[in-house]
Amino acid sequence: MKVKVAILGCSGRMGRNLIQAAIEHKSIELIGGSVRKGSSFENFDLGEIAGIGAIGHKTTTDYQTLLAADVLIDFTSIAATLEHIQWCKQHNKALVIGTTGFSDQQVETIKAAGEHIPLVLAPNTSVGVNLLFKLLEITAKAIGDYTDIEIFEAHHRFKKDAPSGTAVKMGQVIADTLGRDLNKVAVYGREGITDERDPSTIGFATVRAGDIVGEHTAYFADIGERLELTHKASSRMTFALGAMRAAFWLSEAPAGYYDMQDVLGLKD
């Protein structure tokens, strides 16, 4: 039996990779995809959008045609995702969310939706990145109390949020492990003459350039040595494949608020 999946916002860069990943996944059946009203890609064959040839399913602006889906996948925008959550609640549909940049209040809204439907919120659906989150927890427990912690991330010129959702999640994992409030200890930029570094802070540095898919590094630096934990993505397909893994897992999950650590079985 295959899990029936629909992709919301399927005409973008990530949407096209999601189409391809869904078609290639042996346990996923792609049944449709949406585009925003007025899109030039309305009524296009999904396979042709992804550049892999016609598959017989066309894009739609009418979500009612996606009711056959078991799970919907959303890598769109903050405003669109919040609307999609309400639609999924109304129709009791599971949802994988890869959209980033939500405020703390918006995340609470998403968590509340998990009381009604099964959903995964993942700032990064890459299996490798989620293994990195686990390694960050282990490292922070071992040496976080006495090292300077800095997070570097780089993405393509089109990315709108900064720092990336993945970088923020990295900082959150470290801060939670150390019993710190990220909102109080995060430093998002340095300029001019600054005071000596506060050892409790977690610094962030951001690069936006060219077609960088995604690079993230956490530095744990002491006097005389430093540990660097790095993940580099060379293709968006890694995120798309992770999203399919999440969709398959979510299809059998009860209502709840989950992340990729749940999907991968990495929680203690």
Per-residue pLDDT of the chain (268 residues; tens, 9 = 90+): 799 999 999 998 899 999 999 999 999 999 999 998 888 888 898 989 888 888 888 999 999 999 999 999 999 999 999 999 999 999 999 999 999 889 999 999 999 999 999 999 998 899 999 999 999 999 999 999 999 999 999 999 999 889 998 999 999 999 999 999 999 999 998 888 888 999 999 999 999 999 999 999 999 999 999 999 999 999 989 999 999 999 999 999 999 999 999 999 988 7
CATH 3.40.50.720 intervals, the chain: 3-121+236-263
Supply the pTM of this predicted model. Answer: 0.83
Tell me if residue 234 falls in helix, strand or coil.
Answer: coil
Q: Are strands 256-258 and 118-121 parallel, antiparallel or unpaired?
A: parallel
CATH classification code of 3-121+236-263: 3.40.50.720
* Residue at 180: amino acid letter: R
Q: Is 112 left (phi over 0), alpha (psi -120 to 50) or beta?
A: alpha
Name the residue with tokens 């995964």: 120
Count CB neighbours of 138 within 10 A: 12
- In CATH terms, the fold of domain 127-233 is Dihydrodipicolinate Reductase; domain 2 (3.30.360)
CA distance 76 to 74: 6
Active site residues: 155, 159
Write out the residue limits of the CATH 3.30.360.10 domain(s) in the chain.
127-233
